[in-house]
Amino acid sequence: MATCPDCRQRMQPFYVPARGGAGEVELDRCGQCGALWFNAGEVEAALGRTVRRRQGASSRSCPSCRVKLEAAMLEGKIEVERCASCAGVFLDGHDVEELGQNRATRRRTSGGSGFECEACQERRPFSEARCTVTGLLCTGCAARLSTPESAAQAEKRSLLDRFFIWLGSSDSDSGPG
């Protein structure tokens, strides 16, 4: 299981539909800071975008290889970080928010995508996802385990919700936002 390069917390896997209807892509998400980790090829498969290397290094390390990440640019002019060794791509919480804001046309996420509930380990659609500090819970488990949310947790949930909406955006608008 991946560890977040930003806040060093355990990342939780979740699933998104691959572009072009070719199955699903498993991504990793940090419940603490909202960051995302894409293994090699997953940015193209999940987002339909490319990543280009640019000059510069990062203070963060790859969760897979432990080598320092390098500066990169996600198509759509979003600055991200990439591992030169394994070609993984890291988007911190700010990058995820920027990615969601770049998309004007949105629609609900439909079949093929989902997540694994942190509590019951059942696969559920994103429409049933509730974001917590430890990860994603299904509606039933979230109700059963509910505790008052802090303002920061509510903000992270809304950021992730915007990202899920962006992922479900129409394939006809798959170009840079």
| pLDDT at 130 (0 to 100) | 81
pTM value surpassing 0.75: no
**104: in domain:** yes
If you write DSSP's letter for every residue of the chain in order, what string do you get? Answer: --B-TTT-PBEEEEEEEPGGG--EEEEEEETTT--EEE-TTHHHHHHS--EEEEEEEEEEE-TTT-SEEEEEEETTTEEEEE-TTT--EEE-HHHHHHHHHT--------TT-EEE-TTT--EE-GGGEEE-SS-EEEHHHHHHT--PPPHHHHHHHHHHHHHHHHHTS-GGG-S--
**124: in domain:** yes
| pLDDT at 101 (0 to 100) | 66
pLDDT in tens, the chain (177 residues): 689 999 999 999 988 888 877 788 999 998 888 899 999 999 999 888 899 988 888 899 999 999 999 999 998 788 999 999 999 999 998 888 877 766 533 333 344 567 778 778 788 887 788 877 667 888 888 887 765 554 445 445 556 666 666 666 544 444 444
Give the domain range for residue 39: 11-169
| pLDDT at 111 (0 to 100) | 45
**86: in domain:** yes
**110: in domain:** yes
| pLDDT at 172 (0 to 100) | 44
**6: in domain:** no
The total of structural domains in the chain comes to: 1
**3: in domain:** no
**5: in domain:** no
**16: in domain:** yes
| pLDDT at 175 (0 to 100) | 47
| pLDDT at 132 (0 to 100) | 73
